Amino acid sequence: MHKKDFRQCNTCVMDTSDPDIQFDERGVCNYCQNYMDRKEQFVPNKAVQKKQLEDLVQYCKRKGKGKAFDCVIGVSGGVDSTYVAYLVKQLGLRPLAVHLDNGWNSELAISNIRNTLQKLNIELHTYVLDWEEFRKLQLAFLKASTPDSEIPSDHAIVALMRKIANDENIPVIWGVNFSSEAILPQAWSQGHMDWTYIRNVNHIFGKNQLKNYPYYSIWRLIYYNRIKRQRLFNILNLIDYNKEEAKRLLQTELGWRDYGGKHYESIYTRIFQSYILPEKFGFDKRKAHYSSLILAGQLNRNEALRLLEIPLYDKETIESDIQYLTKKLQISVNVFDEIMSLPPKSYHDYRSKWVDRVKRIEKHVFKTLIALKKNVLP
């Protein structure tokens, strides 16, 4: 990672801790410069939003006719997924909630999930990962020394939801949203969809067979997207989604309780984002989150700067968390310190060249599969 003299955007709070950031002559970063174009790409105008939301509801109801469910939603206990659960019920849908238990749920997350789904009368499917497999995979990513150590969880939940949606032949509704996630620097984490990358890291550092781990390869994505025509909806982009207003509603209506940080419903995420990522790589994900909210008009820049002055962790809590993490991963604190001292690497240090070859033939594969489906091949 190349270093630059420190510089911070004059509009948001992104800075040169992102090695790919660029500034114009006004001191405005590339994320702010490109924000409106990206918003037009991901968030339709109000009239289109309303129409697309109506179409979403009708599509789900058609796909779910005669079935127990008409859509699949993921639940983590966090604000976004909890609000999606609340919203789809308000829209009259019959969701199947899917939760990936990766062994790191906080007690508060478990309580939030249970209370939410009981009050909304939503059925829950929980998939418990094979802990020995997953422990070794997480440890392999830490040893790989990339900022991608949450990929094993992120990849698995997407794979699980898409498989269940395929089995049920109903669409997936995500909690991904532009208003609070418009800025996601690639240098801070990438490779979430790259099964070859995950396998390569596991092969080098884990030497562990992933027999029970949910995954999706590029070929499986082709099958879901092009053959089965599986639909995926980012429903929070079809409403005026305001994170703080959503929190207040969930607290009032469902008794939901906050965690004090984005994605802190997971103990591992709390440790990784509050300590490992900033201490080892110099990445503070709050900057991206706050900057997204600034651009969405949901947070004042001065307030964001004030919030960034609050330490990510206190010494006593992080020492306890590290003790918990090392015990759970079955390593010593000394081994953890050695991992923290390894030189930072990136996705590109492990990404297989095979992926490039696959991408080159991907368009040809799409055309061939469509032709086969239409019986137009000679």
Which residues does residue 15 pair with via DSSP β-bridges, in sequence order?
8
Least confident of 8-12, 138-142, 207-211: 207-211
Cα separation, 335 vs 333, whole angstroms: 5
Taking only the tens place, the pLDDT of each residue in 87-131 is 999 999 999 999 999 999 999 999 999 999 999 999 999 999 999
C-alpha torsion sign, points 108, 110, 113, 116: negative
Domain 30-349 has CATH 1.10.10: no
Is there a contact between 38 and 45 (Cβ–Cβ < 8 Å)? no
Burial of 296 (0-12, 13-18, 19+ CB in 10 A): buried
Least confident of 145-149, 153-157, 303-307, 352-356: 352-356
pLDDT at 376 over 50: no
Task: Give the helix/strand (H/E) hosting 125.
Answer: strand 123-128
Taking only the tens place, the pLDDT of each residue in 298-317 is 999 999 999 999 999 988 88
Cα separation, 71 vs 224, whole angstroms: 15
User: What is the radius of gyration, based on Cα positions, of the chain?
Assistant: 21
- pLDDT bucket at 161, cuts 50 / 70 / 90: very high
Q: Sheet containing 172-174: which strands, arranged edge to edge?
A: 123-128, 95-101, 71-74, 172-174, 232-234
Cα separation, 314 vs 21, whole angstroms: 29
- pLDDT bucket at 378, cuts 50 / 70 / 90: very low
Cα separation, 79 vs 176, whole angstroms: 11
Using N-to-C axis directions, what is the helix angle for 333-341 and 315-329, rounded to 10°? 100
| Average pLDDT of span 58-66 | 98
Is there a contact between 183 and 291 (Cβ–Cβ < 8 Å)? yes
Region class of 229: left (phi > 0), else alpha (psi between -120 and 50), else beta = left
What pLDDT is recorded for position 42? Answer: 94
% of the chain beyond a pLDDT of 70: 91
What would the two tokens of residue 297 be?
């008009």
% of the chain beyond a pLDDT of 90: 87
What would the two tokens of residue 134 be?
């997953």
Q: Please provide the size of the chain in residues.
A: 378
Distances (CA, A) of 208 to 136, 200, 234: 7, 11, 34
Which candidate, 293, 311, 349, places its Cα nearest to that of 141?
349
Cα separation, 134 vs 210, whole angstroms: 8
Is there a contact between 35 and 182 (Cβ–Cβ < 8 Å)? yes
Taking only the tens place, the pLDDT of each residue in 255-291 is 999 987 555 788 999 999 999 999 999 999 999 999 9
What would the two tokens of residue 75 be?
């639940």
What pLDDT is recorded for position 262? Answer: 55
Is there a contact between 231 and 173 (Cβ–Cβ < 8 Å)? no
Looking at every residue in the chain, the average pLDDT score rounds to 92
Which candidate, 303, 290, 292, places its Cα nearest to that of 261?
290
Q: Where are the domains of the chain?
A: 30-349
- pLDDT bucket at 377, cuts 50 / 70 / 90: very low
Q: What is the rounded (10 degree) CA torsion for 200, 338, 20, 304?
A: 120
Taking only the tens place, the pLDDT of each residue in 163-190 is 999 999 999 999 999 999 999 999 999 9
Q: Which residues contact 114 (CB under 8 A, 6 or more apart)?
A: none
pLDDT, greater one: 376 or 255: 255
